[in-house]
Amino acid sequence: MATADPMETPVQPDEARFRARLRQSGQLVDGRLDLAVDLDGSAIGRIQTFVPPGRPLPPGTFEIGIGLRAAARGQGYGREALRLLTGWLFSDAGAQVVRAETDPANVAMRTVFARCGWQPAGTLTELGREWLVYLITRPQWQAQGASG
């Protein structure tokens, strides 16, 4: 994590808390879920749900973060991971809203959100930076005929 891209990881996580999250990896616990993005048995990134520190989410709302290794970007893997996790959250986890933030300069992620049917929903200033907020609601997901 010490050498992570700051656009992907704006704050280095507390090591003990990070290890505790890893122990729960693959299980949805209190709004948190950590998964690897796998390609033929190799981890090419990660995708997770989380509850932002100091900003509890309303019931039925999930926040997503995603990061791919540089060599895996631009090949549709992030879009597929986002679609799969979004679908699962709506079909199995009781999601009503799924949201995420991205850096305004991250055109690739903004394109992924648009291709997955997510809508821009304003901005958020957090961690000393301005982020673009994207989201998709259960009715929007269902209207596009998406499935997890």
What number of other Cβ atoms are within 10 A of residue 37's Cβ?
A: 22
Gyration radius of the chain over CA positions? 15
Taking each helix axis from N to C end, the angle separating 107-115 and 77-92, rounded to the nearest 10 degrees, works out to: 50
- Residues 147 and 87: beta-carbon distance below 8 Å: yes
CA distance 77 to 43: 11
- Residues 131 and 102: beta-carbon distance below 8 Å: yes
pLDDT of residue 146 exceeding 80, the answer is no
CA distance 93 to 13: 26
Would you state the pLDDT for residue 23?
66
Walk me through the domains of the chain, giving residue ranges and CATH numbers.
15-143 (3.40.630.30)
Residue 7 binned pLDDT confidence (cut-offs 50, 70, 90): very low
CA distance 52 to 62: 10
CA distance 138 to 120: 15
Mean pLDDT of 74-88: 96
Tell me which residue of 61, 66, 144 sits closest to 99, measured CA to CA: 61
What is the number of residues in the chain? 148
Query: pLDDT for 12-38, tens place per residue?
Result: 556 676 566 666 667 888 888 988 899
Would you state the pLDDT for residue 17?
65
Mean pLDDT of 101-120: 95
Q: What percent of the chain has pLDDT over 90?
A: 63
| 136 token code pair | 């998709």
